[in-house]
Amino acid sequence: MAWYVVLVLAVALERLAELVVATRNARWSLSQGGRESGQGHWPFMVTLHTGLLAACLLEAGLLHRSFVPALGWTCLALVVLAQALRWWCIRTLGRQWNTRVIVVPGLARVSGGPYRWLAHPNYVAVVVEGLALPLVRSAWITAAAFTLLNLPLLAVRLRAEERALASLA
């Protein structure tokens, strides 16, 4: 269980690193005349993602979930790949990447990196991680609950982003 705690804490530290980048990018975007939209869903998103991390540890520990090698190793690989995809998105978007929906008028919509193939590749990373991180330790209740709660959130988020991005050149 100790190594799983380390894994979840590493993901939590990654999330904090994201927030540092997002805060810096939000300041820049707003200083460039950026407009934020879709603020209403953001607190729920933060709560859900924080809850995912806590629930992983609680379910694995309190319900004594075991590490099933075929499932656990596969899901660990998926967690690593999801992190790689997320940071590829962050790097590709540069200053335009944010955890909030902030669009700077006059900037072009990014179409390089993973955005060549998918309009919202970061959400692929979110979905994969939300399933895989709990399942590393067979925490299937957490994986199912996060997924069911995340689906309507993603629908709201995607609509907000698409409306905001429609204003870009």
**DSSP secondary structure, 7-63, as one string:** HHHHHHHHHHHHHHHHHHHHHHHHHTT-EEE-GGGHHHHHHHHHHHHHHHHHHHHHT
Residue type, 152: P
Q: What is the pLDDT of residues 91-146, one digit of tens each?
A: 999 999 999 999 999 888 899 999 999 999 999 999 999 999 999 999 999 999 99
Number of other residues whose CB lies within 10 A of the CB of residue 3 = 11
User: DSSP code of 99?
Assistant: S
Domains of the chain from N-terminus onward: 2-27+38-165 (1.20.120.1630)
Q: Contact at 8 Å (CB) between 148 and 77?
A: no
Decide: helix, strand or coil at residue 103: strand
Residues of the chain with pLDDT > 90, as a percent, come to 88
With 70 as the cut, is the pLDDT of residue 169 above it?
Answer: no
H helices within 63-120, ranges in order? 69-93
Q: What is the pLDDT of residues 62-83, one digit of tens each?
A: 999 999 999 999 999 999 999 9
Residue type, 124: V
